[in-house]
Amino acid sequence: MNTFISFDIDGTLIKFGGESVKHPIAVRDAFNELLKLKIKEYPEKFIAKQSDGWTDSQLCREMLKSAKITPSHDLLLNFQKKTEDIYYSIIKPNFNIVPGAHKFLSYLSQKPNIVLGIATGNFEKIAWKKIQLSNLEKYFSHHIGGFGNSLTRKEILQNALKDAITKGFGPFQRMIHVGDTKSDAVAAFECGFESIIMKTGRQKDGFPKYAKIFNDFETDFQKLIDYIK
């Protein structure tokens, strides 16, 4: 049975805190630079909403709404490029990896019937930079993914699967998405994926009943392996 497994990044493979704070800083600074503003707070505080499970494109639109600015195609593209440029200029390889992530990914990557990909709300360049600096890139050697260039999580998962097929993998008899938010679970369900939720992000409850919930890759390693077999 050929299986495609996609992974979210923030809160799923990489812990919040530490270098993870550089991402919202890049978003804020790009917003200020493009629009000649002087916002000091982080994006979540500026929009007065928690953005767990959001895409970068969604966050950009919400910030523009809070600033009472009408989004345009060119503005959104410029925001993406500016955010990526700023992120690259400030990021350092000091990420905190979720316990057991290397062990779990190493196990999966050695299975000939399993194809791994990324499905994250991060803009594409930011996503791959996080994976690279976290020393996780070797597990995603085919560079398969769907990213926050799209507006919704559903589109991101669809794009990740399409990317895998375009690169010569599949057909798949089973698709699984691993994330840490309700948005991950809902998108998985909408796309015909099974949903694995890791309680390693900020959300700890309120997940749909159809999601399979685990604590972390280290504690529940064998349970995860048994589920995927």
What length is written for the chain? Answer: 229
Residue 49: pLDDT band by 50, 70, 90 thresholds?
Answer: confident
CB atoms within 10 A of CB 112: 6
The pLDDT mean for the chain works out to 94
CB 29 within 8 Å of CB 85: no
- From the list 139, 135, 144, the residue with the least C-alpha distance to 106 is 139
Superfamily per CATH, domain 3-17+94-228: HAD superfamily/HAD-like (3.40.50.1000)
Residue 104: pLDDT band by 50, 70, 90 thresholds?
Answer: very high
CB atoms within 10 A of CB 5: 22
Residue 170: predicted pLDDT: 86
User: In angstroms, rounded to a whole number, what is the distance separating the alpha carbons of residues 168 and 30?
Assistant: 37
Q: What is the mean pLDDT of residues 54-79?
A: 92
